[in-house]
A and B are shown apart, each in its own frame.
Chain A
Amino acid sequence: MGRALAVFLWLMTLASVWMFMSGRWWFPPSITEHGPAYDRQFILTMIIVGIAFSGAQIGLGYVIWRYGARRNERERAVYSHGNNRVEMICTALTAVVFIGVGVMGQQVWAQLHFAKAPAGSTQIKVTAQQFQWSFHYPGIDAKFGRTDPTLVNDSAANYTGLDEASAEAKDDVVVPILITPVNRPVELIMTARDVTHSIWVPPLRFKQDLVPGLNISVHFTPVKTGKFELACAELCGQQHYKMKSFMLVLPERDYREMVAMPPAQFRTRMTELVKAYPLGITAQ
């Protein structure tokens, strides 16, 4: 029985390692500046995880293969209460590796969250609600029109409470698609109107909760053009799984051209582009 268990542990280890290394199921290619650093840290961590996992499982398999009692065996086990030296070495080694990798694991985080968005970032306001997204572009004046929750009116398609009478709002446009230029830092200023949501675009290697009552500002820089699926990652109600949208990363010229358009034209152009772009990265 012991030997069968040992063999199973080894086979399970092999199968698990294969599953992670086969490349059949892996991240979509990253499309952001911080993506490669993220991927490097992930792979480094997975190598450490893989070594620790395999080492422990293979070792466990070894001791149960090697030290099974035979029937009616007279000989006794080794009488030992432990070995402080081995204990100390293993503890120190683990501490250094775990905490070391943990400290390294703050790098991408710090880059994204400790620094403010660079000057000249493209600003977009995001409002999440059950079960749709609203992305608010400031238009050619680069100033957001005033919003007020008392003006929210879903039946009039005013999801963010934009005060259309205010001067800055004239050229503003609110659409359900996230559109950004490529190779320019993007700043999202995000809030939720009803319950907590979370914005999740896998190739971005980025996710952030949108919290009622808070304006959370985040930034990143897309470096590949294309169309990508955008999902909600925080349970927000019965249609949570359908709270889908797209992120469209455009060549900078196309983006500039688009934001200069009057709102109606912007919407038409957006619909065309969402149709025209296939899913995934487009070659530039």
Chain B
Amino acid sequence: MSETVQETHEIAATHTAAHGAAVHHHGPPTGFIRKYIFSIDHKIIGIQYLLLAMLSVLVGMLLSVLMRMNLTWPGTSWPLLEVLFPVGAAGGVMTPEFYLSLVTMHGTMMVFFVLTTAPQGGFGNYFLPIQVGADDMAFPNLNMLSFWVTFVGFMVLVLAAFVEGGGPTGGWTGYPTLSAIGGKLNVPGMGSAENRWMNGQSLWVVSIAIFCVGSLLGALNFITTLLNMRVRGMSLMRMPLTCWSWFTTAILALLAFPVLLAAGVLLLLDRTMDTSFFVPGGLSDGTRVLTEYNGGSPILWQHLFWFFGHPEVYIAILPGMGATSHILSTFARKPIFGYRAMVFAMFAIGLLGFFVWGHHMFLSGMSPYTGMAFSVLTLSIGVPSAIKTFNWLGTLWGARIRFTTPMLFAIGFVSLFVAGGITGLVLGQTSLDLSMHDTYFVLGHFHLVMGVAAIFGMFAGTYFWFPKMFGRMMSERLGKIHFWPTFIGVYAIFMPMHVMGIVGMPRRYASFQEYEFLRSLDPLVMFVTIAVVITVAAQFIFWYNFFWSIWKGEKAGDNPWEATTLEWATTSPPPHDNFGGVAPIVYRGAYEFAVPGAPQDYVMQTTPDAEQNEIRQVGGIGVTGNGHNGHNGHKH
């Protein structure tokens, strides 16, 4: 045993040495462009991703305000809108196709450019290398490329919104045949028989495909960095749970995005070259048979899309789980409850996430037996999700909680994750989906769990890591003023959507005025809209706090939260190579709080143990666990 450990250490040492040499590959750049624009520093790239997400979330949020305005006061003329969108809102009144382009752009912006970029590309990029003790990502140039490819995808999406003929109207799921032949059916935003390329829907597909490429490159980098560049003593089971979450997410992204990329290319071919991947023969536009198509299947797209789309839900939420675990433990001043179980639960969620995509398709015309299999698998994914919730509560049990702003948002994450996730028990059942499918119940469910909970993970991460990223604290006072209306607001918005769904309100409707059975919901529709306006307004407190604090915030020390992991063992902000040329050595697991006998209530991963033999006894890469084995020294 000890020989093996010795050997592992030699390998680790060699690795560190080789890696140490790599530090000199790129010294700190001096020019503005290489430093801040085309930077290969993972920290700058991380901030670039964060800023992109902050821009996208602003757009996505304002789009949702417009949608609510149209739903609550249909037919009203909004003079400002006429100035901004003279076609989509002629006379200031939103057209139904304008509403659909809002729906599509909101979903696409939020899912791709917020939920996928910030948690992984943003925080993951910045903190994964630091938390494993590396000086940068494994492939810094690839890292730069992945951001700029993503940015091009973003620009194409913006172009799609403003191109002649209106923005894309196919929804963020882009179901064919609508998304494929919509132009020939004169659906606005879908182009026409002549205009195949420069229209909202085609550009939407191009944007998504570009985004897939960017995410793929990022995923490769994350996986390689985590597996190969951990510093001496950083065994897998000593990694912070954030690293586990980014690692799992990267694996999901690596396997899911290529499928969407392929689907996107096929859809684009259907749109531009009249191929028939997703379009069957025998369709009619009311005057002629669309003889150019034959043999395709609209359901094929749904399989490809959701094979990506369901793992995508976990791509959005897993980093939030990681950040929440990390922050809960830090401010509970207590080790994480069931570290190993947390790691396994995360992997179980990731793995099962690939076998449940069919629950989006129970009513699609897919075989009902297949639907049943997907249904039972779907409900089993609740088990690892529940494990995580128990462990978060277990972490808080017997804690000494410090209610800082990041902690409030982390607690909010737990609450919202439960509230949103638990209704999966309803939607996951084939029988109950017969009524609930495509209603506001679904909107309430996924907005709480993958939208708002994930956003709370990002808020928690921003307030928590801001001092490390910018060397200054964000205002705690403003942070708390931001937290309360946000937390109350999101419940006020999304809880009522569940009962709207039970009554039967269908999603993606530009107006509810046509149906008598929806009349009883009018007061709730109004209530939700008011809640949206207040909640959105409260977000400007966050933006103000963010930018004000970059320049004016109180100066932060290296470790303002008295936390344990490697990012807090370097300066704020960290130097170009993260640790000033000296690779840290890790002696213990990530969450050693309240260790009996230790001089303070936290012991950093880099603090050498009083008994120096500890690392020889149980250290070694991939051998030890974070749990009890990590601290034999203290137990004796």
Binding site for B on A (CB under 8 A): 1-2, 5, 8-9, 12, 15-16, 19-20, 24-28, 38, 41-42, 45-46, 48-49, 52-53, 56-57, 59-60, 63-64, 67-69, 73, 75-84, 86-87, 90-91, 94-95, 98-99, 101-103, 105-110, 112-114, 129-130, 149-150, 152-155, 159, 161, 193-196, 198, 200, 202, 205-209, 211-214, 216, 229, 231-242, 244, 279
Contacts and interface: CB of A to CB of B under 8 A. Distances in A.
B96 interface: yes
Nearest to A113: B368
B interface, size bucket: 35 or more
Contact of B334 (A15, A77, A112, A238): A77
Nearest to A65: B401
A69 B584 CA distance: 32
A67 B298 CA distance: 54
A41 B432 contact: yes
Contacts of A53: 418-419, 422
Contacts of A59: 393
A60 B391 CA distance: 11
A45 to B, nearest CB: 5
18 contacts: A19-B496, A77-B334, A83-B338, A87-B338, A87-B391, A99-B383, A101-B429, A108-B431, A109-B375, A149-B283, A194-B285, A196-B178, A207-B363, A209-B363, A212-B279, A213-B283, A235-B175, A238-B169
Given A42-B426, A198-B363, A237-B169, A25 B500 contact: yes
B393 A238 contact: no
Contact of B368 (A114, A196, A232): A114
B338 A27 contact: no
B530 interface: no
B23 interface: no
Given A9-B415, A56-B393, A82-B337, A2 B432 contact: no
Contact of A213 (B281, B386, B393): B281
Given A82-B627, A216-B365, A87 B387 contact: yes
A238 B299 contact: no
Contact of B429 (A20, A102, A193, A233): A102
Interface in B70-107: 95-97, 100
Contact of A99 (B299, B379, B498): B379
B5 interface: no
Contact of B289 (A27, A84, A149, A240): A149
A67 B398 contact: yes
A102 B378 contact: yes
Contact of B480 (A1, A49, A91): A1
Given A90-B387, A207-B437, A235-B178, A79 B400 contact: no
B428 A102 contact: yes
Question: Which 7 residue pairs across A and B have the least CB separation, nearest first?
Answer: A213-B280, A105-B429, A78-B398, A102-B379, A154-B286, A113-B368, A202-B504
A82 B514 contact: no
B360 to A, nearest CB: 12
Nearest to B294: A213
A99 B502 CA distance: 23
B134 interface: no
Contacts of A239: 96
B390 A87 contact: yes
B435 A205 contact: yes
Given A102-B428, A106-B372, A67 B284 contact: no
B488 interface: yes
A105 B431 contact: yes
B457 to A, nearest CB: 16
A103 B408 CA distance: 37
B425 A98 contact: yes
Interface stretch (B42-50, B142-150, B318-326, B588-596): B588-596
Given A213-B298, A244-B515, A64 B283 contact: no
B435 A67 contact: no
A202 B280 CA distance: 30
B415 A57 contact: yes
B332 A45 contact: no
Interface string B352-382: 0000000000011100110110011011101
Contacts of B408: 1, 5
B178 A77 contact: no
Interface stretch (B192-200, B221-229, B517-525): B517-525
Nearest to B438: A233
A241 to B, nearest CB: 4
Interface in B484-506: 487-488, 491, 495-496, 498-500, 502-504, 506
| Interface-centre pick from B169, B283, B435 (highest chain A CB count, 10 A) | B435
A59 B394 CA distance: 10
Contacts of B280: 212-214
A81 B624 CA distance: 15
Contacts of B430: 105-106, 109
A279 B516 contact: yes
A234 B100 CA distance: 13
Contacts of B100: 235, 238, 240
A86 B397 CA distance: 13
Interface stretch (B180-188, B263-271, B552-560, B572-580): B180-188
Nearest to A94: B386
A240 B185 contact: no
Interface in B381-412: 382-383, 386-387, 389-391, 393-394, 396-403, 408, 411
Contact of A152 (B286, B297, B428, B480): B286
Given A16-B495, A200-B438, 14 more contacts: A16-B419, A41-B432, A49-B425, A56-B422, A60-B418, A102-B376, A102-B379, A129-B286, A130-B187, A149-B289, A206-B435, A213-B282, A213-B283, A242-B96
B414 A60 contact: yes
Interface string B291-311: 000001111000000000000
Nearest to A6: B411
Contact of A107 (B337, B422, B431): B431
B594 A77 contact: yes
A110 B376 CA distance: 13
Given A69-B402, A195-B182, A235-B171, A64 B396 contact: yes
Contact of B403 (A5, A76, A78, A110): A5
A200 B283 contact: no
A113 B408 CA distance: 47
Contacts of B285: 194
B401 A25 contact: no
Contacts of B332: 67, 77
A157 to B, nearest CB: 11
A113 B364 CA distance: 13
Nearest to A50: B422
B626 to A, nearest CB: 8
A83 B396 CA distance: 14
A98 B375 CA distance: 11
A98 B502 contact: no
Contact of B520 (A19, A25, A213): A25
Contacts of A237: 169, 178, 182, 185, 187
| Interface-centre pick from A60, A83, A103 (highest chain B CB count, 10 A) | A60
A231 B383 contact: no
